[in-house]
Amino acid sequence: MRLNLLERRAEIASKRMVVGFDGFVDTIARVIRETAAEDRPETCFPTIRSFGEYLVSQAEKSCSLELKLQSRQLGGNLPYVSRAAGLLGLNVTCIGMLGENTPDPLFCEMPCKLYSFAPPGESTCLEFQDGKVFLAPQYRLSADPWQLVQNATDGNAARLFAESDLLALLNWSELPFAQSLWEHVYRKSLADAPARKDRWAFFDLCDCTRRSPRELEEVLVLMGRFAEKRTAVLSLNENETLVTARAIGLASEDLADVGETLRERFGITEVLIHTLRESLLCTPRGITRQATRFIASPKISTGAGDHFNAAACLGAVLGLTDEERVALSNRFSSLYVETGTTPSLDALGL
**pLDDT for the residue 165:** 98
Mean pLDDT for 73-95 is: 95
The span from the CA of 210 to the CA of 261, in Å, is 22
Residue 30 pairs in a beta bridge with 68
Q: What is the pTM of this model?
A: 0.89
Mean pLDDT for 10-34 is: 95
Collapsed DSSP state (helix, strand, coil) of residue 218: helix
Q: Are 227 and 267 in contact (CB under 8 A)?
A: yes
Mean pLDDT for 275-301 is: 92
Domain spans, the chain: 5-26+74-348
Share of the chain above pLDDT 90, in %: 80
3-state secondary structure 163-208: HCCEEEEECCCCCCCHHHHHHHHHHHHHCCCCCCCCCEEEEECCCC
**pLDDT for the residue 18:** 98
**pLDDT for the residue 38:** 84
188 pLDDT band, cuts 50/70/90, is very high
Cα–Cα–Cα angle for 189, 194, 199, nearest 5°? 70
Collapsed DSSP state (helix, strand, coil) of residue 277: coil
Do the strands 91-96 and 113-116 form a parallel or antiparallel pair, or are they unpaired? Answer: parallel
Q: What does the pLDDT look like over 220-266, one tens digit per residue? A: 999 999 999 999 999 999 999 999 999 999 999 999 999 999 999 99
**pLDDT for the residue 155:** 97
**pLDDT for the residue 245:** 96
Helices 238-247 and 255-266, interaxial angle, to 10°?
50
CATH node for 5-26+74-348? 3.40.1190.20
**pLDDT for the residue 136:** 81
Mean pLDDT for 281-295 is: 95
Q: What does the pLDDT look like over 135-152, one tens digit per residue? A: 988 778 888 999 999 999
Q: What does the pLDDT look like over 108-134, one tens digit per residue? A: 989 999 999 999 998 898 999 888 898
HSE-CB of 10 using CA atoms within 13 angstroms: 1
**pLDDT for the residue 282:** 98
CB-based contacts of 134: which residues, under 8 Å, 6+ apart?
123, 124, 125, 126, 207
